[in-house]
Amino acid sequence: MDPVTLARLQFTITCVYHFFFVPLTLGLSILIALMETMYVRTGNELYKRMTKFWGKLFLINFAMGVVTGIVMEFQFGMNWSEYSRFVGDIFGAPLAIEALLAFFLESTFLGIWIFGWDRLSPRMHAATIWMVAIGSNLSAFWILIANSFMQEPVGYAIENGRAVMTSFFALLSNPHLWVQFPHVISSGLTTAAFFILGISAYHLFYKKRDSEIFLRSFKWGAVAGVIGISLVSLTGHSQAQYMVEAQPMKMAAGEALWQTEDPADLSLVTIIDEDQQRNVFDIRIPRALSLLAFNRFDGEVQGIKDIQQEYEALYGPGDYIPPVAISYWSFRSMVGVGSLMLLLAFYALFLMLTERLPKADRFLRWLPFAIALPIIATSTGWIFTEVARQPWIVFGIMRTEDAASPNVSVGMLLTSLVVYTLLYGVLIVVDVYLLAKYARDEPPINESLGGTVA
């Protein structure tokens, strides 16, 4: 295997793995902060118990996110040194700011939150978890500034063969950022909501105990889930509409649309033959893609082959077509799973509001498995957005094949790949073991909480 492929594989594994944990941190930090705020405001012990129960799970997840995040920061330099040299002037800045503004905030205040129950007033203590929530979500903001530059470079100039920043404000106001950031934040909320729904359902159905705390949690999960997944859908929709304009190739690949169409049809199922650049089998909804793209029943959506020709004229000869099948199926998977979550969240809310929850045995029995759904959707979402940008690492200005470290050999890449894979493999087992253990645990009862080391 060539070094670039290995480096990409490594990035995929470490990035997707890192993002198993990130969305839950983003959303759950906010929900726990709200729970503790409710405790402070009402004095109701139930909210304190909820805070502690979900807090323990939050911490286990948070630790995994932190340690796998370090790999991400180091990896650009280790595996992608030419990339780092070329865009460091722009890309390094949000990364450094992320560490300075967000990582310090979340890690310092999380330390205080964990150990500070007896050392701070309830109000101060609740404030610390808000700092964690703000820090986590801020970190998403800054890293997405960096990623948005890769999707849509703005505020830069090429000088002496490298990209330099000309406008910091342009980076902050990158239109891509403002369709992507709300999408990521709301998927964080959704992930946390399904986590809470799933575990609450487990207790309500399988354990039949302490229904008060889990009924209340279920309600929170249902409301957060409906809000979260609705926002995910809306922001996803605006992102797709924007993509048609800004990155037509990505949309075309996601739809396996080889020829330009007006009106354009939306694919339901398509079997793709990438070598022949055609679809072997195709079921499409007439005009639906135009509708999604432009909110009307016509409108031109460009096809892969036409964009390829356009790009050849623009960027010179070359292959500008991303891996179509991977793009198509990851996009399909994200949207499909997202739609399923939309149904589930609304159904959960419906059960709550009509007070049918206690009798909804079948729903509760299966809901714990839905914890996996947001993870599938966010993973495939990232795979789609990164793979369908290929062959570019920074759209229009740098190709992935030119970005890897020239001095890092296949042997070194293989070594690190094997090491990460083994280490991550072991860690996921331990992580799932602990999450399952604490998710099944009886929630702490008032002051006899969790307790000492012994």
Partner 1 sequence: MDLNTVWFILIAVLFTGYFFLEGFDYGVGILLPFLGKDEEERGRIIATIGPHWDANEVWLITAGGAMFAAFPSWYATMFSGFYLALLLLLVALITRGIAIEFRNKDIRPKWRSTWDWLIFGGSLVPPLLWGIAMANLLLGTPIDADMTYIGGFWTLLNPYALVSGLAFLAIFTLHGAAFLSLKLDEPILDRAFTAARRIWPAALVVGFFAFGVGYFVTDMYERLGVSPGLVPISAGAAMLAAGWFIRKKQGGWAFVMSGICIAFSSITFFVGLFPRLMVSSLNPEWSLTIYNASSSPYTLKVMTIVAAIFVPLVLLYQGWSYYVFRGRVTRDSKLEY
The footprint of partner 1 on residues 71-100 (CB under 8 A) is: 71, 73-74, 76-79, 81-82, 84-85, 87-93, 95-100
> Between 110 and 321, whose beta carbon lies closer to partner 1?
110
What is the closest distance, in whole angstroms, from the C-beta atom of residue 99 to partner 1 in the complex?
A: 4
What is the closest distance, in whole angstroms, from the C-beta atom of residue 132 to partner 1 in the complex?
A: 11
Taking CB under 8 A as the criterion, which residues in 22-61 touch partner 1? 52, 55, 59-60
Residue from 13, 46, 101, 397 that binds partner 1 (CB under 8 A)? 101
What is the closest distance, in whole angstroms, from the C-beta atom of residue 76 to partner 1 in the complex?
A: 7
Taking CB under 8 A as the criterion, which residues in 108-147 touch partner 1? 108-112, 114-120
Whole-number Å distance between alpha carbons of 407 and 131: 41
> Between 340 and 412, whose beta carbon lies closer to partner 1?
412
Stretch that binds partner 1, among 175-183, 279-287, 389-397, 434-442 (CB under 8 A): 434-442
Stretch that binds partner 1, among 197-205, 260-268, 324-332, 429-437 (CB under 8 A): 429-437
What is the closest distance, in whole angstroms, from the C-beta atom of residue 377 to partner 1 in the complex?
A: 26
With residues binned 3-state (H G I as helix, E B as strand, rest as coil), the percentages for the chain, rounded to 5, are 75, 5, 20
Cβ–Cβ < 8 Å for 236, 287: no
> Between 111 and 358, whose beta carbon lies closer to partner 1?
111
Whole-number Å distance between alpha carbons of 205 and 356: 13
What is the closest distance, in whole angstroms, from the C-beta atom of residue 281 to partner 1 in the complex?
A: 44
Residue from 38, 165, 184, 337 that binds partner 1 (CB under 8 A)? 165
> Between 28 and 90, whose beta carbon lies closer to partner 1?
90
425 binds partner 1 (CB under 8 A): no
Q: Cβ contacts of residue 428 below 8 Å, gap of 6+? A: 17, 20
What is the closest distance, in whole angstroms, from the C-beta atom of residue 23 to partner 1 in the complex?
A: 19
> Between 353 and 426, whose beta carbon lies closer to partner 1?
426
Whole-number Å distance between alpha carbons of 420 and 418: 6
Residue from 13, 67, 215, 349 that binds partner 1 (CB under 8 A)? 67
Whole-number Å distance between alpha carbons of 66 and 103: 9
Task: Quote the distance between the C-alpha of residue 403 and its chain's center.
Answer: 24
Q: List, in sequence order, every residue forming a beta bridge with 267; answer none if it has no partner.
A: 284
Cβ–Cβ < 8 Å for 140, 22: yes
What is the closest distance, in whole angstroms, from the C-beta atom of residue 427 to partner 1 in the complex?
A: 6
Residue from 63, 170, 223, 376 that binds partner 1 (CB under 8 A)? 63
Task: Quote the distance between the C-alpha of residue 410 and its chain's center.
Answer: 30
Query: Which DSSP string corresponds to 136-186?
Result: HHHHHHHHHHHHHHHHS--SEEEETTEEEES-HHHHHT-HHHHHHHHHHHH
What is the closest distance, in whole angstroms, from the C-beta atom of residue 296 to partner 1 in the complex?
A: 42
What is the closest distance, in whole angstroms, from the C-beta atom of residue 214 to partner 1 in the complex?
A: 21
Whole-number Å distance between alpha carbons of 402 and 163: 14
What is the closest distance, in whole angstroms, from the C-beta atom of residue 448 to partner 1 in the complex?
A: 12
Task: Quote the distance between the C-alpha of residue 61 and its chain's center.
Answer: 15
Whole-number Å distance between alpha carbons of 371 and 363: 13
- Spell out, one character per residue from 168 to 187, where the chain touches partner 1: x when CB under 8 A holds, - when not: x-------------------
Residue 180, both tokens: 């992507």
Q: Kindly state the number of chain residues that form the binding site for partner 1, as judged by CB under 8 A.
A: 76
Taking CB under 8 A as the criterion, which residues in 249-308 touch partner 1? none
End-to-end CA, the chain: 50
Q: List, in sequence order, every residue forming a beta bridge with 163; answer none if it has no partner.
A: 158
Stretch that binds partner 1, among 164-172, 329-337, 349-357, 365-373 (CB under 8 A): 164-172
Phi, psi of 271 (to 5 degrees): -100, 125
Stretch that binds partner 1, among 260-268, 355-363, 372-380, 446-454 (CB under 8 A): 446-454
> Between 59 and 291, whose beta carbon lies closer to partner 1?
59
What is the closest distance, in whole angstroms, from the C-beta atom of residue 353 to partner 1 in the complex?
A: 34
Query: How many CB atoms are located within 10 Å of the residue 355 CB?
Result: 8
Taking CB under 8 A as the criterion, which residues in 391-420 touch partner 1? 405-408, 412, 415-416, 419
Whole-number Å distance between alpha carbons of 257 and 243: 14
11 binds partner 1 (CB under 8 A): no
Query: Which DSSP string corresponds to 75-88?
Result: HHHHH-HHHHHHHH
